[in-house]
Chain A
Amino acid sequence: MRFMLLQNYGPVESDCPPMTEWSPADIKAHIDFQQALNAELARRGELVDAQGLAGPELAKFVVWGGSGAPVVTDGPFPEAKELLAGYRLVDVEATERAIEIAAQASAAPGPGGVAIRQPIEVRQVLSAPDPEL
């Protein structure tokens, strides 16, 4: 079963400040944590892909413009907090395991090594139907 584990720029459950206000050591610890988690998932044979996305400052919204030019909207966006920040695509044996990984990702450390408790959106990827078909 494949799951997308999505993180956006939304508020985190802890009351930690934005990353721009962290100490360099805390930022490094955070990045190390993410890389270690990816390495662990790869070692377990579960990692399909993991990517971080460029910030909302570079985001664009594009709408087809009919016969005219497409309508391209640049930021800043009032709804920037809802934009996707990054994702992990994992291939696991059961939903429970995807939730376990999401919980682990949500424990990424913030200032002083305290878990920032970022909400992770867990979404199953559409795939093959049940084998019993």
Chain B
Amino acid sequence: MSTTHQSGGSTERAENLLRELAPQVLGALVRRYGDFADCEDAVQEALIAAATDWPAKGLPDNPRGWLIRVASRRLANLYRGDIARHRREELAASWSRSPAQPAPERDDTLIVMLMCCHPSLTPASAIPLALRAVGGLTTREIAAAFLVPEPTMAQRISRAKATIKSSAEPFALPPPDQLPDRLRSVLHVLYLLFNEGYTTSSGPDLARADLSGEAIRLARIMRASVPDDPEVTGLLALMLLTEARRPARSGPDGELVPLAEQDRTLWDAGLIAEGITLISGVLGSGHAGEYQLQAAIAAIHDRAPSHAATDWPQILVLYDLLESMTANPMVSLNRAVATAMVNGPRAGLRLLDGLSARLGDHHRLHSVRAHLLEQAGDLTAAAEEFNAAAARTANLRERHYLATQAARLGCRRET
């Protein structure tokens, strides 16, 4: 999510370096001064200072040291204005202590990520904080991506940090027995961040599409920190295999193109190859988690020459497994689609009947039913279901798509 590139490569290089160093510098500061929330503010200010200083004057000899020095100075300024005297005393005391032992940098990035995705935060609060503290984005960039005013986003981030502070979490790796659960929180946040960018529908699309890129970058950072967790790898693979289809996912005017109708030659072969390599590397190494299974399904789609020639029986097997480990009704809905592809639309429709209780009046239930009814030849009922789905979706492009489908079937009935 870079801003301008007027000075060409040097600005971009400085930005990439800054963003890579952001969580490490934050880690070093927290280890020395203790307060995560204040240190995070100070690092943000140092990053903004570097973003103008470095491209103009060239990179400092020790960029990491430069950032730590500037951030420490900002922190001191922050406390100078602080009327609470004990705060300054605390800081003075921490300065008089010998500098903390060199921090394990790889762990620091992971710890910062775990803090940002603390279970006491909702994903809506965790996402902007992670983008700032781990991703090194500025509040302005994050506000622009989420289409809210900068002060609103700044407040959201401060509140998130206040919540973390009140949880009194130490800046350290959690005990090994708690790590897997904490990692799940991180993966969930990254998954939602990816979707935020992938399903973008309004506003400056490009800025929001970059959120998917950010999610992928953060997932790569996570994989580097926890290389032996197959779910981390599974999530990264899922993101790459989904991102690969983005160029085909919307038409020339931004209209939604469903998977069945996408021009597969537009899919990104490089991303697909990387995703398949990643998921093949972890599948079969034991218990496959949800992200691995979803990535495996995405890989089958991405490898298929066409919608009809997709290995639907294999996809159905994977959805069976997935459904056995999650209560997510959307998984059941997708399983009904796979069932229809394997055993015919009527078989899929029968599964949908059982889902009404869990999904209620959800637009996705209506749209899947519409597609299956159309496949089964009941065009009148299909048009009604497309209309029902169009009226219930909260997504503009989806509404256009669904209303167009209803109109198409309506016209066909009249001719």
Give chain A residues whose Cβ lies under 8 Å from the Cβ of B364. Answer: 130, 133
A120 vs B159: C-alpha distance in the bound complex, in angstroms?
A: 27
Within 8 A of A (CB), among B153-193: 153-157, 159, 191-192
Q: State which of A45, A46, A93, A128 has its C-beta within 8 Å of the C-beta of B395.
A: A128
Contact: A45 with B195, CB < 8 Å?
no
CB neighbours of B191 from chain A (8 A): 131
Complex: A1 Cα to B159 Cα, angstroms: 18
How many chain A residues touch B (CB < 8 A): the figure is: 21
Do A127 and B149 touch across chains, with their CB atoms under 8 A apart?
no
**Cβ-based interface call for B56 (8 A):** no
Q: Does B394 lie at the interface of the complex (its beta carbon under 8 Å from any beta carbon of A)?
A: yes
Q: Are B156 and A129 in contact (CB under 8 A)?
A: no
- Determine if B60 is an interface residue (Cβ-Cβ < 8 Å): no
The answer to whether B122 and A93 touch across the interface, beta carbons within 8 angstroms, is yes
Asked if A129 contacts B155 (CB within 8 A), the reply is no
By DSSP majority rule, is chain A's interface helix, strand, loop, or mixed?
loop
How close is B192's CB to chain A, nearest CB, in angstroms? 5
The stretch that binds A, out of B87-95, B199-207, B296-304, is B199-207
Check: B32 CB closer than 8 A to any chain A CB: no
Please report the total number of B residues contacting A with Cβ < 8 Å.
31
Taken together as a complex, chains A and B put the C-alpha atoms of A47 and B157 apart, in Å, by 14
Evaluate whether A45 and B201 lie within 8 angstroms (CB atoms) in the complex, with A93-B122, A126-B394, A131-B195 already known: no
A35 sits at the interface (CB 8 A): no
CB distance from B319 to the nearest CB of A (A): 13
User: CB-CB contacts of A115-133 with B at 8 A, as 1s and 0s?
Assistant: 0000000001111111111
Q: Pick the contact of B201 from A1, A91, A126 — CB < 8 Å? A: A126
B225 at interface, CB cutoff 8 A: no
A31 partner residues in chain B, CB cutoff 8 A: none
In the assembled complex, the CB of A20 is this many whole angstroms from the nearest CB of chain B, namely: 33
Cross-chain contact A91 with B395 (CB below 8 angstroms): no
Contact partner, A133, options B146, B151, B199, B399, Cβ 8 Å:
B199
For the complex, is B330 an interface residue (Cβ under 8 Å from A)? Answer: yes
Contact status B124-A46, CB under 8 Å: no
Residue A42 interfacial (CB < 8 Å): yes
* C-alpha gap A45/B152 in the complex (Å): 4
Expressed in whole angstroms, the minimum distance between the Cβ of B159 and any Cβ of chain A is: 6
Contact yes or no, B399 A126, CB < 8 A: yes
Whole-angstrom distance from the CB of A1 to the nearest CB of chain B?
A: 8
| Whole-angstrom distance between the Cβ of B340 and the nearest chain A Cβ | 18
Choose one: A1, A43, A124, A126; the contact of B155 (CB below 8 Å).
A43
> Is B404 an interface position by the 8 A CB rule?
no
Q: Which residues of A contact B147 (CB under 8 A)?
A: 48
CA distance A49 to B393 in the complex (A): 24
Known: A45-B159, A128-B202, A129-B394. 8 other contacts (CB 8 A): A42-B152, A44-B159, A45-B153, A46-B152, A126-B396, A128-B200, A131-B192, A133-B195
Pairs A–B under 8 Å by Cβ, sample size 8: A45-B157, A47-B152, A48-B152, A91-B146, A126-B393, A126-B395, A128-B201, A133-B199
Residues of A within 8 A of B (CB): 1, 42-49, 91, 93, 124-133
